Amino acid sequence: MINEKRLLDEFLEFVKIRCSTRQERKIADIVTRRLIELGCTVQEDDTAKKINGDTGNLVAYLKGNVKAPVLMLTAHLDCVEPCENVRPQVTDGIIRSDGSTILGADDKAGVAGILEVLRVLKEDNVPHGDLQIVFTVAEEGGVNGSKNMDKSLLKAELGYTLDTHGAPGKIVVKAPGQNKIFVKVKGKAAHAGIAPEKGNNAIIAAAKMLTKIPQGRVDEESTCNVGVIRGGRATNIVAEMVEIDCEARSRNKAKMEILTDKICHVFEQGGIETGTQVEVKVKKSYDPYEIAEDSAVVQLAAQAARKMDLTVSIEESGGGSDANFFNSYGIPCAVLGVGMANGHTVDEFIKEEDLYNAARLTLQIVKEAVVKAN
């Protein structure tokens, strides 16, 4: 049986630990020790070197005591900023920060929930098949941990990533891919007061281009966004350089590529029209994925949720996750709702009930896998 107090205490402990992307060493060391205490063998891959981080992905294995499909349970160790000096508050069944930082339920709810499941399996001698636990790094900002992980370490047949908003019972079966577009617009510097006509303002040129690219929700499965603009040196200098970071997403890969090409064309044509030099580079973050609703990985989770009297909601998502790469590696992997809300903001929160039910559902999935196999 899930121990609510223990789970809550561990969750509150974890969110207080600073775990910036590519700086997950402290939380990884703690989690590694606990995995070993619970009987897992643990390996850390070489992803840290590939992404200039201080920690690799943790890949643990727990031998089963009965025959069942090998399940993979995953969550990520890092958080978005600001994640230092988090002071969690628990009031009326709601867990929040003090408003000066994020909370970190994204994704410490998943990490703590998985560890609690492993404890219950051990304490109650619950029948279970082999389990693979994967705690990734650098999920935020491009799912770079799973993208660069050692795929040869993965042995699972079905996978579940505990990492999305929505109450337990939500099962994400389709999510977008993402292309990042990096643009440099180079104009000509000049003294803004003495000879502005000798310059060519890159900021103004870039602004004209930005009015022509797709923005926001393009259709029901595609979005575009301009996220970062850097440029200019001083008000008395006609701006010579602007850098723009954009993205295109879609659950339809062909649409994603069309959107990307359109954005690139707008900037390239804009360079000709404004007399500026434009450099455009595209970096693929990840491809979309789709899992059939009648697939084994979805039906197993749905059956577990129904046994718990949870409302089953099979959905499509607008965000990517480690599941994008796990699916591309050949492991059918669904994303499970753990109750996090207002993620990536200082207003983030999670209900205690959802924290506990996410762990209960994960435990029930492990049990259902045994029932199905026998």
The edge-to-edge listing of strands for the beta sheet with 94-96 is 89-91, 94-96, 349-351
78 classed as catalytic: yes
287 classed as catalytic: no
- Report residue 203 as tokens: 């900021």
Q: Are strands 333-340 and 158-165 parallel, antiparallel or unpaired?
A: parallel
* Choice among 106, 130, 139, 240 that is catalytic: 139
Q: Are strands 158-165 and 216-219 parallel, antiparallel or unpaired?
A: unpaired
Q: Judge contact between 4 and 356, C-beta under 8 A.
A: yes
Q: How many CB atoms lie within 10 A of CB 277?
A: 15
* Choice among 44, 78, 348, 368 that is catalytic: 78
Catalytic residues: 78, 139
